[in-house]
Amino acid sequence: EAAAEAADEAAAEAAAEAAAAAQTRREAAEAEAAAVAEEEEAAAAADEEAAIAAAEAVAAAAAEAAAAVWHPPQPRRGEAPGRQQRRGVLYPAAAGEEAAEAEAAGEEAAEAEAA
């Protein structure tokens, strides 16, 4: 009877140890799952921040490009429209025409000097 009682106690202790070990493994697995979830959340937050930073950089570049659009000067008071072109400021669409006119004028001046 004492041997059976000792065997029962040993079995109960072994069962308690097994339960404690299972609980420890379960807690370790939960802690690992929580760490993985935190890492994934941190990675997602970093990706989101990177995407936001990239979008802000694109928006800033677009704003800078929009601000860099060339605007021709307005005629001075009492000045005829188009006069500012003769001041050396060319409208983008008229730049080719002005260059051709300047080249023709230069050729005419060279011919006049030769004559």
pLDDT digits (tens, 9 = 90+) for 56-96: 999 998 888 776 666 666 666 776 665 555 555 444 444 55
Nearby residues of 60 by Cβ (< 8 Å), 6 or more positions away: none
pTM: 0.41
Nearby residues of 92 by Cβ (< 8 Å), 6 or more positions away: 70
Q: What's the pLDDT at 104?
A: 77
d(CA 2, CA 33): 46
Tell me if residue 102 falls in helix, strand or coil: helix
Query: Of all residues in the chain, what percent carry a pLDDT higher than 70?
Result: 71
